[in-house]
Amino acid sequence: MLHLLSLGFEGPMGMKCPSTGVLFDAACGMEITTTATATCADVQAEMEARIAGQYGSWHDPHNNGTYSVQSYGGTFSSKRLTGDGKYTDKQIFTLTASGSGCLIEACSRSQVGSYLDGGTNYCDLKMLFCGTADGCKPLKNDFTVGTEKTKAHQGSTAGISACLKV
């Protein structure tokens, strides 16, 4: 049976994942749910600033990939091309006000059939909202996030240590 997430449908609890174009859901991916100690406007402004600042005021610490803003759904979406130009992943972020903070529900999916990603899909997401407490370089808004809940697709792995390589 074809897994519904590969078609871009919402998963449980409102998580939105990009379509993959890969049959039978055989593509790496990662879902992250966490809460930021910032407003959703500040979280989104930071993600936009990082993408706009590439190769100038900011670079992707996970092997220097290239992000671009897209329109896949959610509150904010992006695409990331790996530093070697070989692979593309798509991301969808859904940001929802939660008290004085912001609930972040984010999903990244590889666009080719894959198994085991060395943390790439986790990093695709995390590098756009991590703060100095994680070892990242914010441009506009430095904030922390609470405990993360992750869900891996096709053997993907999670962990900040895989992200900080450049």
Domain ranges of the chain: 4-162
Structure tokens at 119: 């943390």
The CA distance from 21 to 160, in Å, is: 28
**How does residue 5 score in pLDDT terms, banded at 50, 70 and 90?**
very low
pLDDT in tens, 46-55: 999 999 999 9
pLDDT in tens, 16-49: 999 998 887 799 999 999 999 999 999 999 999 9
Structure tokens at 138: 């914010």
Mean pLDDT of the chain: 91
Please state the pTM of the whole predicted model: 0.90
Instruction: Find out whether 128 and 78 touch, Cβ atoms under 8 Å.
Output: yes
